[in-house]
Amino acid sequence: MVDQNIIEKLKSSGLTGRSGSGFLTGLKWEAVKNEIADKKYIICNASEGEPNIFKDAFILERYPEKVVDGIKIALETIDNSEAIIYLGKNNYKNFSKKLESLITGLPIKLFEKTGGYIAGEESAACELIEGKKPEPRTKPPFISQIGLYGKPTLVNNVETFYFVAKISEGDYKKTKFYSISGDVKNKGVFELPEDATIEKILKETKNWPDFEFFVKSGGGACGQILLQNELNQPVCGSAGIIIFDKKKTDVIKLMKEWAEFFHKGNCDKCVPCREGIYRILKMMESERIDKKILDDLFFAMEESSFCSLGRSIPETFRGAINKLLKFTP
């Protein structure tokens, strides 16, 4: 049965997109619903292309019915629509059979293709599904106006659709899922209050280390670097928490791994991001850090990269360099 008040319920709940964007879900749904078109699309993005972020897989394994319920609610709310569940390679391998059984007879299709990190960006996901190279589009127009195949499109991730179903049922308790990994005893995905601090999350999940450590908060690639005295704050981005043993971690080697990931996942669309991450990678490979050059690269990437992914890359490196490496003035 159609939940006639779902958009108002989403607005009242304050639910934001759980991919890291933080945009209000109710406003996003309303924008697509209000567009006039003969066809509209709904995309559930389950590509999960970021390292050490595995909450989509956790939800699809344990609550696939709820995710499909959330997509069905979107189909009922947005007229003339059909849905696509975009699965990365591992998620397709592990969950496609179960999902196929749940979507039989519904206007929902599965799409499987490795689009990499960039395909987490909603317009790049549209490009990939259309059979093109996954690259972000110029905005405006936004995909709520001109998205997949030129039609108004709603993109939410797995966790967001899960909580849409919970909100429709009146069972939303303002929680979110956190991926915890790294040098911890109890790696996994945990559902806790959305405003919980990192310190509280680590202690409640019995993951507070008994050694000196630092945290990567947000995504497995992009995110904040936080020291032990900075953990009285919520988790940012994709709600990932990665713990590193401070004494055992080779910081330059770690930054080289990040740079390799970004270099491989770069879409090559814009010069600042493409050349910036290449220069960062080469510097990490040489193990000769020039902070002045890096500051200039970071500035160029943040101010002139085409999309938010390129603009967000410097934060992780800057945090690691400023907080974990010692420089002589």
Indicate if 202 and 289 belong to the same structural domain: no
| Phi, psi values for residue 189, rounded to 5° | -115, 135
| Phi, psi values for residue 303, rounded to 5° | -90, -25
Top mean-pLDDT range of 34-43, 270-279, 283-292: 34-43
Indicate if 264 and 143 belong to the same structural domain: no
Last residue of a domain, one of 141, 168, 195: 168
Residue 329 belongs to some domain of the structure: no
**Which range of residues forms the domain containing residue 68?**
6-168
Q: Enter the tokens of residue 93.
A: 């391998």
> Do 169 and 72 contact (CB within 8 A), yes or no?
no
CATH code of the domain covering residue 99: 3.40.50.11540
Q: Of 103, 107, 158, 153, which is closest to residue 128 (Cα–Cα)? A: 153
pLDDT at 50: 81
Strands 188-193 and 175-182, sheet pairing: antiparallel
Indicate if 113 and 151 belong to the same structural domain: yes
Domain count across the chain: 3
Write out pLDDT tens, residues 58-85: 999 999 999 999 999 999 999 999 999 9
Residue 50 belongs to some domain of the structure: yes
Last residue of a domain, one of 189, 218, 245: 245
Write out pLDDT tens, residues 122-162: 999 999 999 999 999 999 999 999 999 999 999 999 999 99
Residues in the chain: 329
Residue 1 belongs to some domain of the structure: no
Indicate if 26 and 154 belong to the same structural domain: yes
Strand partners, 182: 243
Indicate if 199 and 265 belong to the same structural domain: no
Residue 191 belongs to some domain of the structure: yes
Residue 163 belongs to some domain of the structure: yes
Please give the Cα distance from 240 to 164 (Å, whole number): 21
Indicate if 182 and 307 belong to the same structural domain: no
Please give the Cα distance from 276 to 310 (Å, whole number): 9
Last residue of a domain, one of 245, 266, 286: 245
